[in-house]
Chains A and B, each alone.
Chain A
């Protein structure tokens, strides 16, 4: 007869119960190559809780018609649900007004919207935009397209070896020609949390508006747009446990009202003749065509879900997990963590001396572990760290220390094969 195992200290069972939350995510019960799925790629796209899946299904089963058009009751209900979602997002981000929340396909479209509308209307040859070395391609390429159209100049704030923005250099880049700062709140590739309040404060001191790419921030920390005082804030629903194909551009009303439309079509007009079109008010001016109605409502459900769990508790859980995973991975022979900022989100990017990231990814996949490998759509940042690619594990609210341990064990298997 064996004695019962002593109760083990459970580092996850503090403020937030990730094991219970996991139950809400049907996909986490599926298998990968016959092994339980260990999903460590939430920074690419997060899995969806039952509450979001049900909300989307409910739209199509019981509450679906086109919005802002029908006089019939069903259309009015769908319109109300869609506008409720907008209000939920406003409250979630503490924006001043719901009309400052524009529904878009994702952060990529949000940034392209600002580049093509704000950028083409207000920027001219020789004007400057300040980016950072941390940016995702979606916060680089739209500005390059604008540059090639208008002759503006792109400046890049450098990062130090830890992957933190060099603030002195950033401040020096702000000058009389600077018209916009466009910077990530959190790096998708290496997890750096940027000092966004200071970035905004310094820009505003010179009268420069700031666009924040908040994709990797909103799922992991409470974002207060009025406290930040940024001019634009972009994020994608699918990284926030919501549907793909829906995202948000927040813009201060004064900017959005001054900006010309991005796309023309239905719903964004007041009246159309062949001679002249009067545009609708914001937010509708920027929402041409039938939007992703179920997606917006599903995103509202994701926000309800996260607020039910408590974002502060989720953040504390993820930070504990990041520390645990960092400690475990640091023991793996030849492992180099890329991105060691003092303030980091739950993203661990690394390389192994013995194996290329793609081989790591394939071998871990065989163990049922899903990580991202490659350049993470941040090639300039990879160049900065002199790597072509990294392996990246990212943790969401449903990950546990067991997932991090499985990753460490999986890396041992990589070393066995390449040892």
Chain B
């Protein structure tokens, strides 16, 4: 069912207008660039990783509400997580927005604020907007230097 309210929830609008952790990260030791050829959007994710833990995360770039809110929520969520936990969260999030089955209650609870993006799964053309920041995060964690593309 197509419902714009499922996509543009208040938390999404809020994070898209006032993204958290937006800008350069002084002392960053991991970074990656993401690019969505479909819309031309670009973003950069910067991290400070110490002892296998993501101490801080930030992003920069211009994008649509979905990609900006997703990046903002992501940088909020991964701080304090181990690298493995952050990668696991990426896979969990990707599954949330790409698979056919709706998420379970437990899953939504576990995903916390990211659950706000669950509505994206009804909009296949927008899935790449939601996952761009996550692919970029994953590349930064893996120290893959080539820009990440969603296509």
Contact = CB atoms under 8 A, between A and B. Distances in A.
A33 B122 CA distance: 12
11 contacts: A357-B64, A358-B39, A359-B65, A362-B123, A374-B40, A379-B40, A382-B40, A388-B40, A417-B8, A418-B13, A418-B17
A74 interface: no
A357 B66 CA distance: 12
Nearest to A361: B125
A310 interface: no
Contact of A417 (B4, B38, B126): B4
Interface residues of A, number: 18
A389 B66 contact: no
Interface string B1-45: 010100110000100010000000000000000000011111000
A388 B42 contact: yes
Contacts of A388: 39-42, 62
Interface string A362-380: 1100100000011100010
A413 to B, nearest CB: 9
Contacts of A358: 39, 64, 66, 126, 129
Contacts of B125: 362
B35 to A, nearest CB: 10
Interface in B40-82: 40-42, 62-66
Interface of A: 33, 355-359, 362-363, 366, 373-375, 379, 382, 388-389, 417-418
A363 B66 contact: no
Given A356-B63, A356-B64, A388-B62, A362 B7 contact: yes
A418 B17 CA distance: 9
Interface of B: 2, 4, 7-8, 13, 17, 38-42, 62-66, 123, 125-126, 129
Contact of A366 (B2, B17, B39): B2
Given A356-B64, A362-B125, A373-B39, 11 more contacts: A356-B63, A358-B64, A362-B7, A363-B8, A366-B4, A375-B40, A379-B40, A389-B39, A389-B40, A389-B41, A417-B4
A363 B39 contact: no
B41 to A, nearest CB: 6
A374 B125 CA distance: 12
Contacts of B123: 362
Contacts of B39: 357-358, 373-375, 388-389
B41 A359 contact: no
**Which of A355, A356, A357, A382 has the most CB atoms of chain B within a 10 A radius of its CB?**
A356
A359 B17 CA distance: 13
A373 B36 CA distance: 13
For the complex of A and B, the 6 pairs showing the least CB-CB separation, nearest first, are: A356-B64, A388-B40, A358-B64, A375-B40, A359-B65, A366-B4
B53 to A, nearest CB: 33
A359 to B, nearest CB: 5
Contacts of B41: 388-389
